[in-house]
Each structure stands twice: as structure tokens, then as C-alpha cells.
Amino acid sequence: DGGITQSPKYLFRKEGQNVTLSCEQNLNHDAMYWYRQDPGQGLRLIYYSQIVNDFQKGDIAEGYSVSREKKESFPLTVTSAQKNPTAFYLCASTFTPTGVGNTIYFGEGSWLTVV
Amino acid sequence: AQSVAQPEDQVNVAEGNPLTVKCTYSVSGNPYLFWYVQYPNRGLQFLLKYITGDNLVKGSYGFEAEFNKSQTSFHLKKPSALVSDSALYFCAVRVFYGNNRLAFGKGNQVVVIP
């Protein structure tokens, strides 16, 4: 089936650890995104990438890093510098960034909890 | 800056009654507006979008939305709510022309009472 696959669904991080959330899409989409969801705050953009080997910071990039080495993959690393990482993380993708009418589609999300 | 507002935290409606979830927007230029639904512990599912054309947009699962330029609103509606419509609903706006970012409202919890 075509779609956006996020893994793992649940992840626990110890203090001082870096962890990586995986996002893979087989939709041949050009652009990929990472959003963070906290209760009552909606979704906030962490990073986005319009093409391979290029990405830009979103609104809350501090403490996070990404890479875009392949079109289908956009992993997110939550570093120890992110002081409050407990949240639901959503990966998304879409065709042709300059198409304003293009719909952005989302994966099923990953829960990250600090223990 | 492009933004949307969802003024209500929760909407309660009896099953079979009309459902309305409110969204107002603030943009410079043409608005490109979207509605998504999220069920517990799941990702966001696309419902519908307004890009241009008819002010009444029809989407998935019997939902529709009315674009009102004079009131800067894009309210989501369903004529007869189902218990299975209970979920979190997000309104979103395209942030920059030529860039596919979306800015989201804080979401509305819809509770459909049997």
C-alpha cells in the first residue's frame, strides 16, 4: 500500500540521550515535514524539506536535527538539547512544493516519552 | 502573518443533529484553506480544501465547508452527525505562496452524544 510510514509508534528516551524517529514515504512526494503536537497547542512545524539534500528550520527547530539523503526518507533526531521532548510527532509529505493546492498527507505519528 | 483561529475548544452535538466546527482565517493575498480530522492516537486525515471556485466545498465522510470571504471564515459542517464523528478537527492555512507549509489552528474536540 502507498503511504507514509512512521516508526516506532512508541519510543522512550532517557535523559541525555539522542533518539531518531523514522519517516518513509512511497508516494513519490517531493516535500516532507515534521510536526510536533502537544495537547491544546495544535501542530507546530519543526523542519521541512522541499528536495533531497535540502531542508529548512520550522518554528521550533531547536533541539532537533534532520537529514534528507533520499527522496523517500526524512528521519528526525531529537537531541539531548531538546529539554521537553515528550510529545506526539507527525511526519507529512506532498507533491511539488510550489503547488499551492497540493494536499499534505500525514503518517500515523510517533509518541516520544522521556523517562 | 497567515494564521487560522478555532475559537471553541469543544463542540458537543447530539447524534443526528447538524454539526458545525468554526474556523476564521487571517491571510495576506488569496487564502488556501484545509480541514483535517484526527482520531485518538492516529495521524491527521485530510477532509477537504478550498483553493478557488465555489464557496461550498464538499469533502470526505459527508463533510462540507463554506468559504466566506467577507467574514474571513471557513466553517466545517455536516448535516447529520454520527457518533463516529467524535474526533479532533483541525483547520489549516497555506502559509507562503510557492511554499507548501501549513499553519494549524489549535483544534476542536467534537463530541457526538448518542
Q: Is the dihedral of CA B64, A25, A6, A70 positive or negative?
A: negative
On the question of a cis peptide bond just before residue A39, with omega within 30 degrees of 0, the verdict is no
Contact A103 B49 (CB under 8 A): yes
Beta strand pairing status for B87-96 and A54-57? Answer: unpaired
Q: Is the pLDDT of residue B97 over 60?
A: no
Partner B contacted by A43 (CB < 8 A): yes
Instruction: Tell me the percentage of chain A whose pLDDT exceeds 90.
Output: 74
Number of Cβ pairs closer than 8 Å across A and B?
Answer: 64
Judging contacts by C-beta atoms under 8 Å, the chain B residues touching residue A39 are none
CA distance A88 to A86: 7
Distance from CA of A25 to the nearest CA of B (A): 14
Q: Please, what is the average pLDDT of chain B? A: 92
- What does the pLDDT read at residue B2? 83
Distance from CA of B51 to the nearest CA of A (A): 6
Distance from CA of B80 to the nearest CA of A (A): 26
Unique residue bearing C-alpha cell 508516494: A27
Chain A, nearest residue to B97 by Cα: A100
Among A48, A105, A109, beta carbon nearest to B101: A48
Helices (H), A1-115: none
What confidence tier does A39 reach under pLDDT thresholds 50, 70, 90?
confident
Q: Please, what is the average pLDDT of chain A? A: 91
Q: Is the dihedral of CA B49, B43, B15, B6 positive or negative?
A: negative
Judging contacts by C-beta atoms under 8 Å, the chain A residues touching residue B43 are 4, 6, 90, 106-109
Among B36, B97, B106, beta carbon nearest to A41: B106
Torsion angle of the four alpha carbons A18, A24, A30, A32, in this order, in degrees rounded to the nearest 10: -40
Q: What is the CA radius of gyration of chain A?
A: 13
Q: Is the pLDDT of residue B20 over 70?
A: yes
Distance from CA of B75 to the nearest CA of A (A): 17
Contact A69, A53 (CB under 8 A): yes
Contact A100 B101 (CB under 8 A): no
Tens digit of pLDDT for each residue in B38-94? Answer: 999 899 999 999 998 899 999 999 999 999 999 999 999 999 999 999 999 999 998
Which residue would you say has higher pLDDT here, B33 or B95?
Answer: B33
- What does the pLDDT read at residue A98? 60
Mean local confidence (pLDDT), B20-45: 93
What confidence tier does A100 reach under pLDDT thresholds 50, 70, 90?
low
- What does the pLDDT read at residue B99? 59
| Residue A50 identity | Q
- What does the pLDDT read at residue A78? 95
